Structure 1
Amino acid sequence: MSTEPTSSTPGREAIQRACNAVLDAFMQALNDHDAAAMDRCMHFPHTRLANGATTLYQAPGSNPMDLFKRLEEADGWSYSRWESREVVQFNAHKAHVLLSYTRFRKDDSVIGVYDSMYVMTLEADGWGIQARSSFGP
């Protein structure tokens, strides 16, 4: 399948706006320690490739509920923010988004900046994150 838009494909800017809205909600949910809200931003089954492992979340509620505690204990994580997000390939139903994010401690010191690629898909309920591949932990 071509990544080139067709006459019926929304333009890159419209796809970028739609993806950014989901990504903003996802980041807010992460920072709010709200796993259920994170689930609402994802499509399932959902795949995550990070730390040398591939994890498949079959359904909402599959996110490990100790995620936030583990992040805090590992590095003193307090919050994260997007640094960049760019749709690099897309069609009417899928977009590949190159992005980077920074993890911070409570004192605003940087834990790390991590590059990732997210696969966003359009389903009946709208755009969502189908897969994440990250160089972060």
Structure 2
Amino acid sequence: MAATPGTPQWIELERAGMAALDEFMETFNSGSPLRWAQSLHYPHVRLGGLAVQIWNTPEDYARDNDVSRLREASGWGYTKWDRRKMIQADEDKIHMAVQFSRYTPAHEKIVTFESFYILTRMNGHWGTQFRSSYAGVIGANTAF
């Protein structure tokens, strides 16, 4: 059953969801495709623009998502959350509305996007399993 806003269950799920999003962003910004891939749950699905992408394993995801491609395409240096809000949650799934911005290494904002993430709990660990983003896709099979 879905958690009710303001209850202890809601507060705990929100804390867990924010921690999972922190891990997502930290591993993405690390520049290690495998580290980032290992923070996610599988199958991992991304709807970027109208393109649906599915990765079945961390190895598949890491192979397709070397962030050097993002760096080369846009001058990207890192990404930060602007806003994160838990919309719905239960003991095994959390819906998050998020906004993030990409920056150059010199801290100049490149672009801002709103997205919707679904986090799941598998084997006691929370991770992102589905993302719908207005960010589009910069290259074949990339998640950015």
**TM-score, structure 2 as length reference:** 0.84
CA-CA distance at 1:123 after TM superposition: 1.4
CA distance 1:69–1:47, shift in 2 (3 Å): same
The Cα offsets for residues 42-96 of structure 1, whole Å up to 9 and x where unpaired, read as: 1100101113211000111112445312111111000000111111011111110
Q: Counterpart of 1:62 in structure 2: which amino acid? A: D
How many angstroms apart in 2 are the aligned matches of 1:99 and 1:92? 20
Distance (whole Å) between structure 2 residues aligned to residue 46 and residue 83 of structure 1? 23
Residue 101 of structure 1 corresponds to which residue in structure 2? Answer: 100
CA distance in structure 1 between the partners assigned to 2:13 and 2:60 by the alignment: 27
Rounded Cα–Cα distance in structure 1 between residues aligned with 2:66 and 2:51: 16
Instruction: Report 1:52-67 matches (<5 A).
Output: 52-63=50-61, 64-65=63-64, 67=66
- Structure 2 distance, partners of 1:91, 1:125, is 14
Change in 2 beyond 3 A, CA 1:96/1:66: closer
Would you say how many aligned residue pairs link Structure 1 and Structure 2?
Answer: 133
Asked if 1 retains the 8 angstrom alpha-carbon contact of 2:42 and 2:55, the reply is yes
Q: Percent identity?
A: 31
Checking the alignment, whether the CA contact within 8 Å between 1:12 and 1:87 is kept in structure 2 is no
Aligned twin of 1:80? 79
**Structure 1 unpaired stretches of 5+:** none
Query: Which structure 2 segments of 5+ residues have no match?
Result: 137-144
Counterparts of 1:46 and 1:5, CA distance in 2: 24
Amino acid at match of 1:126: H
- Give runs of ≥4 in structure 1 deviating > 6 Å: none
**Kept after mapping to 2: 8 A contact 1:26/1:37:** no
After TM superposition, give the deviation of residue 10 of structure 1 in Å: 6.1
CA offsets 1:10-63 (integer angstroms, 9 cap, x no match): 622111111111111111111111222212221100101113211000111112
- Compute the RMSD of aligned alpha carbons: 1.8
Q: 3-state DSSP class of the match of 1:89?
A: strand
Q: Residue in 2 aligned with 1:12? A: 10
1:87–1:101 Cα change, 3 Å = same
Task: Report the structure, 1 or 2, having the larger strand content.
Answer: 1
Matched to 2:102, the amino acid is R
